[in-house]
Amino acid sequence: MNIPRWLWIIIISLVIIGVFGVIFNNINTNCQIRELDYLALILTLIAIIVYVYYTYLIAKDAWTPCASFVLQQKEDDKYHLYFLIQNHSEFSLNCWCKLNAKIYEQSVEIGGFYSGKSSFDIQPYGHAQGHFDLRTLIEKSNKTLDELKSSASPTNNRQQLHFNIEFWYNPIGSKKITCNVRQPYFFDFTNDSLSVDF
């Protein structure tokens, strides 16, 4: 249980007040029931404060925008990629993306959603699926698929086709943008596989 420092200070202060209250009450009177009432009141106050804090955290998590994406290769066409988006929050989101694709360090864009120019609108806890073809990116760089496959090697596979994907979102009607950490991928033409670039 990770309790913040300010909450610890409140709890410790209430315990100290409770202990001094019991001692002070015991010195002035000999009534044991009054001491137990006072101690029960302090402990109840501590329990209510902790309960309210954790209820706030649960409610805050439910209303925090959160979305993610995954790139996945199509099984029957390794050069066709699915872009799967998941909304993990309680409200509709506008989701944006920019692939930042580079072929041999030359920037290549395919426009629309994948260039940050339009958004996917995702319902609460919903998902969406986009897709794009690597051949389109390769053509825009004035190269051919055969050219990249023939020059592929373990030493240059990260430079051939590299993505540094930006993904951000905002609740529909809100200007507050949340950005995920950039996710780097590369396509390895030696074995036609998409890999995360750590």
Residues in contact with 75: Cβ distance below 8 Å, sequence separation at least 6, in sequence order = none
Say how far apart CA 77 and CA 132 lie, in whole Å. Answer: 11
**Residue at token pair 């020059």:** 151
Domain that holds residue 47: 5-62
Task: Note whether 88 and 21 are same-domain residues.
Answer: no
pLDDT at 182: 95
Question: Tokens representing 44?
Answer: 């109840």
Task: Note whether 156 and 71 are same-domain residues.
Answer: yes
Radius of gyration for the chain, computed over Cα atoms and rounded to the nearest angstrom: 28
CATH of the domain at 132: 2.60.40.10
Tally of domains within the chain: 2
Say if strands 193-196 and 120-122 run parallel, antiparallel, or are unpaired.
unpaired
pLDDT at 99: 96
Amino acid at 33: I
Task: Note whether 107 and 72 are same-domain residues.
Answer: yes
pLDDT at 75: 92
- Answer with the one of 47, 62, 77 that is the final residue of a domain: 62
Task: Note whether 32 and 118 are same-domain residues.
Answer: no
Task: Note whether 56 and 72 are same-domain residues.
Answer: no
- Answer with the one of 34, 62, 90 that is the final residue of a domain: 62
**Residue at token pair 């030493």:** 155
Predicted TM-score (pTM) of the model is 0.69
Q: Which residues pair with 96 in a beta bridge?
A: 168
pLDDT at 158: 87
Task: Note whether 27 and 80 are same-domain residues.
Answer: no
DSSP, residue by residue, 65-127? --EEEEEEEETTEEEEEEEEEEE-SSS-EEEEEE--EEETTEEE---GGGBTSS-EEE-TT-E
CB-based contact 177:170 (threshold 8 Å): yes
pLDDT at 154: 86
- Answer with the one of 42, 62, 82 that is the final residue of a domain: 62
Task: Note whether 93 and 188 are same-domain residues.
Answer: yes
Task: Note whether 101 and 171 are same-domain residues.
Answer: yes
Task: Note whether 75 and 167 are same-domain residues.
Answer: yes
pLDDT at 27: 59
Task: Note whether 98 and 42 are same-domain residues.
Answer: no
Task: Note whether 89 and 149 are same-domain residues.
Answer: yes
pLDDT tens for each residue of 16-38: 777 776 666 665 555 555 666 67
- Residues of the chain whose pLDDT is less than 70? 1, 21-37, 61-62
Residues in contact with 13: Cβ distance below 8 Å, sequence separation at least 6, in sequence order = none
Task: Note whether 121 and 32 are same-domain residues.
Answer: no
